[in-house]
Amino acid sequence: MIENKLSILDEIRTIVGAKYLITKPDLLYKYSKDCTSNKVTIPSAVVLPKNTQEISKIIAICNETKTAITVRGGGTGVSGGALSVNSGIILSLERLNKIIEINKVDRIAIVESGVITKDLKDAVLKDGLNFPQNISSADSCFIGGNVAVSSGSPKSLKYGTTKNYVVNLEVVLPDGRIIWTGKNVSKNATGYNLTQLFSGSEGTLGVITKVVLKLVPPMKELVLMVPFTKIDNLFICVQQFFAKGYSASSIEFIDGVGFKLVSQYLDNSYHIKSTTEGILWIEIEGDYSDKLLDEALKISRHINAYTEEEIHVADNPSEVKALWKMRSKVGEAVINHTFFRDVDIVVPCSKIDEMYKAIVIIANKFNFNYTVFGHVGDGNFHVNIFQNKEQTIEQWEVNIVVWVKEIFLKALELGGTISGEHGIGKINLPYIAEAIPTAQIIMDKIKKTFDKNQIINP
């Protein structure tokens, strides 16, 4: 029996080697935060195992000694999921960065969970295949983290979130056993769907060590960028787009505040009026350029019923990227502007207009500044509430709980949910009981079924 934290660390050091157990305060700082603004928690140690077997041994020791451990991917989360609990131990997956196999016949990639998402995308593209999520933090996030929170992206409208592309997972269970949740096949009706139970579980049921992902052939893209003088019309335009039977790979938007922030941040060269209340992006995909243009023409006619502003169109890769820039940089523009809290909600698309109106009313009632942008085709809004500089941090922390709760309650009232793609993490935990009252009882039971001693990401 191991007696105390020091001897636990000695055990772990024996497993990974002294070089890969970090305990020096100056080196620990890097692991003290993720992209959740304001949150800093210095862990007592960070362990960097090189493979599944090492992780299995580490987790077994933690289980035996009831030591909490927090799994960390790329540290790009915005819900505080990668932060240590009570200055505990962090297990970083950064050395599990091997792409094991890309199979063109089976259209799968088998990778370790610490592979950076962009590296995966680049590698499969060389084989004429695509991992069709364009996650905004792809340059630094880990594929294992994407799976753990089932990350979404603008492409989720067509392709769903990451979980839809997860075929199989290697997982270290909280008692140290190593399992595969499924098989590397596209259809499997053998027993419960453990693969999907682990996808989106935020690492609370085990440590994801290998991921088998489904791949698809890449497609040609065409993007329309459309300013709206009246933002209400933007929402109706999107709802009617679906009602009329159109389809798209992405439908995204930013509101007027987001537009102004990102214009200043980027020195925007598109001639969009400063009175614009919202900008809509519609991206369509296909195998044939001529048909994409035909489709764009039909969609433009539909859009013209809701706005008189000029529609910008791009259909070659560099122009497509340029036209997306305002949307893709709005998050950075907000970070550059002020401290904020991201509130990630989803409502049915038929309720996006009502949800937006409710946000405006709530903001007026509490007098906070904010911008709303996001994946409007999926009904997924990011409400970024700006920190009021006249308030102390303490006041802000008290107020934000009230404001977020009001937004969450409205989303729930409209049949929506309180996290579309960022997960619950720690910062949304106080709200989950209200979001999923009965379901929570079951989730607690499932967590205990897997992790009796509550050691992994507690």
Alpha helices in 156-230 (DSSP H): 156-159, 194-198
CB of 40 to its own copies, least distance (A): 24
205 vs 254, which CB is nearer to its own copies?
205
If one asks whether residue 347 binds its own copies (CB under 8 A), the answer comes out as yes
In angstroms, the CA 162 to CA 141 distance is 13
The interface with its own copies within residues 64-93 (CB under 8 A) comprises: none
Which of 369, 155, 357 minimizes the C-alpha distance to 252? 155
Question: CB atoms < 10 A from the CB of 223, how many?
Answer: 24
Which of 171, 167, 156 minimizes the C-alpha distance to 201? 171
Which of 426, 447, 424, 425 minimizes the C-alpha distance to 436? 424
CB of 131 to its own copies, least distance (A): 15
CA angle 137, 141, 143 (to 5 degrees): 120
Pick from 4, 42, 66, 104 the residue near its own copies by CB under 8 A. Answer: 104
How many residues belong to the site for its own copies (CB under 8 A)?
83
65 vs 188, which CB is nearer to its own copies?
188
Q: Give, for 252, the enclosing helix (H) or strand (E).
A: strand 250-255
CB of 195 to its own copies, least distance (A): 9
Binding mask 269-298 for its own copies (x = CB under 8 A): ------------------xx--x---x---
In angstroms, the CA 241 to CA 244 distance is 5
The interface with its own copies within residues 153-172 (CB under 8 A) comprises: 156-157, 160-161, 163-164
If one asks whether residue 440 binds its own copies (CB under 8 A), the answer comes out as yes
If one asks whether residue 33 binds its own copies (CB under 8 A), the answer comes out as no
> Interacting stretch for its own copies, rule CB under 8 A, among 67-75, 177-185, 313-321, 323-331?
177-185
The interface with its own copies within residues 296-315 (CB under 8 A) comprises: none
If one asks whether residue 185 binds its own copies (CB under 8 A), the answer comes out as yes
Gyration radius (Cα) of the chain, Å: 23
Pick from 177, 230, 273, 365 the residue near its own copies by CB under 8 A. Answer: 177
The interface with its own copies within residues 353-382 (CB under 8 A) comprises: 375, 378-380
Burial 177-200 (b: 16+ CB within 10 A, else e): ebeebbeeeeeeeeeeebbbebbb
Binding mask 209-248 for its own copies (x = CB under 8 A): -------xx---------------------x--xx-x-x-
Please check whether residue 362 is in contact with residue 437, taking contact to mean a CB–CB distance below 8 angstroms: no
CB of 337 to its own copies, least distance (A): 26
The interface with its own copies within residues 409-438 (CB under 8 A) comprises: 415-424, 432, 435-436, 438
Phi-psi region of 171 (alpha: psi -120 to 50; beta: other; left: phi over 0): beta
CB of 160 to its own copies, least distance (A): 7
- Strand locations in 97-215 (E): 99-103, 108-112, 166-172, 178-180, 207-214
Pick from 192, 274, 308, 318 the residue near its own copies by CB under 8 A. Answer: 192
